[in-house]
Amino acid sequence: MNLTIDQTYQTQVEAALKKIYNQAKTAGATTYSDGAYAVAMNPKTGAILAMAGESNDRTTTEVSDDALGVINHTFVMGSAVKGATVMGGLMDGVITPTDNTLPDTPIYLVGTPVKKSVYPVGTFSSLTAQSALEVSSNIYMMHLIMKEANADYVANSKMNMSPDIFTKMRGYFNQFGLGQKTGIDLPGEAKGIEGATLDSGGNTLVGSALDLSYGNYDAYTLIQLAQYISTIANGGKRMKPYLVDSIQQTGTDGSLGKIETKTAPTVLNTIDAPQSYFNVVKEGMYNVVNGSNAWGTAHTLKDIKPTLAAKTGTAQSFARTDPNDSTSAQVETVTSSLVGFAPYDDPQIAIAVVFPNLTSDDGHYNTLLAREMITDYYKLNNIKE
C-alpha cells in the first residue's frame, strides 16, 4: 500500500507541531488544553500531504501522538469558517461581488451582552466582505445573517428571524464540508456537533444563530476545515480526502510488483456559484495575510513567497477545571485555528491547524505553525516566486 503522505514532510509537520505546542506549554497556555492538530492536503485532488496531532493528558500533563484526532475530535473553530459565511451570503443573493458593504455597528439584543468584534466599537462605520474577512469582523457576519434571515432588528428590542435560518446557514456550510463527514479513507471519522436551534419555548435561538455566523457555535473536525478551505482554493469542488494513493503487489522476495489499484480524485459535490463569488472570499483571505489594514489578523505571514492566503480563527470556549469530573467548574478558554492555501495564484497545498482550549492565544501559535508548514513545503518541493 502506497500512501499520499510524503514522509519527509510528515516528519517536518510533526516536529513543528511538537515544537510550537511545547512553546505554548512553556508559556503556561495549555493548562486546560486538549492538545493541538494540523493537516495539509492537495486542494486539487484531496490527497493528504501530512496529518499530525498532539494529545495532552491534563491529569499527567503527558503529551502523546494523536494524528487521528484530525478526523475524530470536534472543536468550535471560530472565525476560520467566515469564508463559508460570506459564500452563503453571496449564494443567497443578499450581497453581490460588487455590492457587499454592510454596517459595522454592534448588535444589541435584549438581555444579552453587546455582540461585537474584538476591535473597539466605532473602528469602522462599514466594511466590504473582503475587508470584513481581513479584520475578522464578527459584526459583518451577523449583519449578513440578519439579511439572510429577514430579521426585524431594532437595537435593544426583541428580534425575530426566519425560523429556517439555521437550516439555511448549515446548508451552505455543508456544501463546503463543514458539519459533514468528508469521506476520508480512515475509520472513525466524526461528523461534528450542531448546537440547539430552539429554546424551551420553541422559539428560534436568535443569539445562537448570530454566533454560528462567525464560527462560535457548531463544532467541526479539522479535516472538515481542510476540505472547506480546499473547496475555496480550487474554485468550488469539494474533494474527498484520501491517504491511500495506490495498492501495489509485493513479490515473495519482498520486492514491489505492479500497481493493482490507483486512487482517482473524487469530487463529492460542486458549488453552484460563479467564480466571482469565490474571488471575493479569496481576495479577503489574501488580505488577511497581505493587506494593509492595521487590524488584519495574519500580516506576520506576508513575507512568505509565493503568497499565502489564510483565515485565522479565535473561538470563545470552555473547559472543566477537572477533566475527570463533569460537574466541576467551567473556565473560559480560547481555541485558536487557521486555514490557508498556497501559492495564492496556483494553490498546491491547503492547511488547517487548531489549538483548542488555551488559556491565551497571545503566542499566535496558529500563525507560527502555518509559517513552518508552508515554508517547509515550499523548500521540499522547490517552490519559488
Q: Please, what are the domains in the chain?
A: 2-380 (3.40.710.10)
Closest among 29, 39, 21 to 229, alpha carbons compared: 39
What are the Cα distances from residue 76, in Å, to 50, 275, 349, 357? 22, 28, 23, 10
Dist. CA 8–CA 13, nearest whole Å: 9
Dist. CA 160–CA 216, nearest whole Å: 20
Mean pLDDT of 43-47: 98
Dist. CA 5–CA 133, nearest whole Å: 31
User: Model confidence at 123, in pLDDT bands (50, 70, 90)?
Assistant: very high
Mean pLDDT of 169-194: 97
pLDDT number for residue 188: 96
pLDDT number for residue 251: 58
Determine which one of 33, 55, 79, 137 is catalytic: 79
Contacts of 261 (CB under 8 A, 6+ apart): 246, 247
Report whether pLDDT(98) > 80: yes
pLDDT number for residue 199: 92
pLDDT number for residue 249: 67
Mean pLDDT of 278-294: 97
DSSP letter, residue 218: S
Q: Do 275 and 235 form a contact (C-beta atoms < 8 A)?
A: yes
pLDDT number for residue 257: 64
Neighbour-count burial for 340-375, b at 16+ CB within 10 Å, e otherwise: bbbbbeebbbbbbbbbbbbbebebbbbbbbbbbbbb
Q: Is 337 a catalytic residue?
A: no
pLDDT number for residue 261: 85
Helix (H) or strand (E) holding 320: strand 309-320
Mean pLDDT of 55-65: 93
pLDDT number for residue 183: 97
What are the Cα distances from residue 316, in Å, to 79, 85, 137, 332, 385? 11, 18, 15, 7, 37
Q: Is 352 helix (H, G, I), strand (E, B) or coil?
A: strand
Helices (H), ranges, 197-352: 206-213, 222-233, 275-290
Backbone angles phi, psi at 341, to 5 degrees: -145, 150
User: Model confidence at 1, in pLDDT bands (50, 70, 90)?
Assistant: confident
Closest among 166, 175, 101, 174 to 140, alpha carbons compared: 101
Contacts of 177 (CB under 8 A, 6+ apart): 224, 227, 228, 231, 238, 268
Pairing relationship of beta strands 126-127 and 102-103 according to DSSP bridges: antiparallel
